[in-house]
A and B are shown apart, each in its own frame.
Chain A
Amino acid sequence: MHPILIVAFILLASNLALGQTQAQLDRGKYIFTISGCKSCHTDTKVESQIMSGGTGIKTPFGIFYGPNITPDKEFGIGKWSDEDFVKAIRKGISPSGDHYFPSFPYTSYTNLTTADILDLKTYIFSLKPSRTPSKSHQIKIPFNIRFFQLFWKWLFFNEGPYVYNVKRGEDWNRGAYITNGLGHCGECHTQRNILGGIDNTKFLGGASNGISGGTVPNITQDHKTGIGNWTNQDLLTFLTMGMLPDGDFVGGTMAEVSKNISELTVYDSEAMALYLKSIPPIHNVVEK
């Protein structure tokens, strides 16, 4: 083969590879943003390095700290293979075989496709490594015994990925994937039982025992206690900028979430609105 052709072939292959990597990075960054990874794994109060470990999430079982998941090989997840990363997200199991506590919402992220999980890994591994040690959780006995998570999972965990609903269209399924997977909305907006398992019979019906002890609104289509009287435009306005139908803007933890989901593409925000509009109404007045 002519040397010029060989050089041209190598250049073309390199460009394709670089293009593929950039596409993965872009997709990975999008998934990272919508999934809200930064919110738990970065301590924004002290302006720490991105993904070097987060502030504590207070729960009835104790305080959980998002660990350092930068690509640092000693303090982060730099040694993780693709299989390790997929297993962590899909099954809630660490490379050493420990079961994660569900404060890490693998119960929702399990819905992600393998391709999305790997794109997410590509993006996270492009971030700057941090040598900040992860904080230890402060969990009450006996909830700190990881082995018991096996039992918890048997009771409350349904492993993914998301299964396409053939009775519904592409848009609806995309909205369901985002809400149940990337957005993990049910983790906060659904009531948990005494063992911290999500009560799926009351999906998105609000929670009296939300993050850090607060209440979380009912976002089902119930007209009196949910968002049933929101128009489609109200929903879209909320998803794109966090503005409620009365012109107010969300606060608390939701402000951070709103910032993330405002990055949804137009298609994805419309898909999510379509899905949310289909959620069966649940009459539930959320009270402490």
Chain B
Amino acid sequence: MRITIITLLILGLFSTIPTHAESISNERVNLFRAMSKNMKIISQVDNVEMALSAAKTLNKIANKLSGSNFWPVNSGGGNTRARNEIWDNLVDFNKKFETLKEVTKNLVKIASLGDLKNTKDSFRKIGRTCGSCHRVYRSPKR
């Protein structure tokens, strides 16, 4: 009886430890949330230095998220909104990430020149890039 209880407790404990795919997807979700936060900063600031700082963060996250280690097979679903279509169309999915890296890099360049209006105009392109990927590869909010 004691052994049974201990075995069940150990099994229960293991079931709460996230799998590798779950850990990766949790980290992904956190990085996307950080992106949202910095998107919001850029849309609201009236100060180009803050916009530049947020743009740099966006570019860093875009570069990090585009790594294949962040998208192991079977890491969709669960607490993420990543659709299985990602792994059926990896070439296209990666192309969209390359575009995101490019537009965020461009945003940093423009923000570095110090013009807030141009920075915000450039920022609009990021929205389209995000939307074009979400359209195909992200599930609706539950």
Chain A interface (Cβ < 8 Å from any Cβ of B): 214-215, 233, 237, 240-243, 245-253, 255-256, 258-259, 262
B134 and A247 within 8 A (CB): no
Residues on A with beta carbons closer than 8 Å to the beta carbon of B140: 214-215, 251-252
16 contacts between A and B (CB under 8 A): A214-B140, A233-B44, A237-B43, A240-B124, A241-B43, A241-B123, A241-B124, A241-B127, A243-B40, A243-B127, A247-B38, A247-B39, A249-B127, A251-B131, A251-B140, A253-B135
Q: Which of B38, B81, B134 contacts A249 (CB 8 A)?
A: B134
A251, B128: Cα distance in complex, Å: 10
- Select from chain A the residue with minimum beta-carbon distance to B123: A241
A122, B130: Cα distance in complex, Å: 33
| Interface SS, A side | mixed
- Select from chain B the residue with minimum beta-carbon distance to A237: B43
Interface residue total, chain B, C-beta cutoff 8 A: 22
Task: Pick from B40, B44, B123, B132 the residue with the most CB of A within 10 Å.
Answer: B40
B19 to chain A, nearest CB (A): 26
Which 10 A-B pairs give the minimum distances between C-beta atoms?
A251-B134, A247-B36, A247-B40, A241-B127, A255-B135, A255-B131, A249-B130, A247-B39, A251-B138, A241-B124
On whether A262 and B135 interact (CB within 8 A), knowing A237-B43, A247-B35, the answer reads: no
Residues on A with beta carbons closer than 8 Å to the beta carbon of B95: none
B124 and A251 within 8 A (CB): no
- Select from chain A the residue with minimum beta-carbon distance to B32: A248
A249, B41: Cα distance in complex, Å: 14
Residues on A with beta carbons closer than 8 Å to the beta carbon of B38: 247
A246 and B134 within 8 A (CB): no
A247, B41: Cα distance in complex, Å: 8
B101 to chain A, nearest CB (A): 16
A255, B43: Cα distance in complex, Å: 18
B131 and A246 within 8 A (CB): no
A214, B142: Cα distance in complex, Å: 10
A112 to chain B, nearest CB (A): 26
A47 to chain B, nearest CB (A): 12
The answer to whether B37 has its CB under 8 Å from any CB of chain A is yes
A256, B44: Cα distance in complex, Å: 24
A255 and B124 within 8 A (CB): no
B124 and A252 within 8 A (CB): no
Chain A proximity mask over B41-61: 1 for CB below 8 Å, otherwise 0: 101100000000000000000
Residues on B with beta carbons closer than 8 Å to the beta carbon of A246: 36, 40
- Select from chain B the residue with minimum beta-carbon distance to A251: B134
A233, B131: Cα distance in complex, Å: 20
Please give 15 more A-B residue pairs, beta carbons under 8 A apart, in addition to A233-B44, A247-B36, A262-B127.
A214-B140, A242-B131, A243-B43, A247-B41, A247-B43, A248-B36, A248-B39, A249-B127, A250-B134, A251-B81, A251-B134, A251-B135, A252-B140, A258-B131, A259-B131
Residues on A with beta carbons closer than 8 Å to the beta carbon of B131: 242, 249-251, 255, 258-259
A243, B123: Cα distance in complex, Å: 11
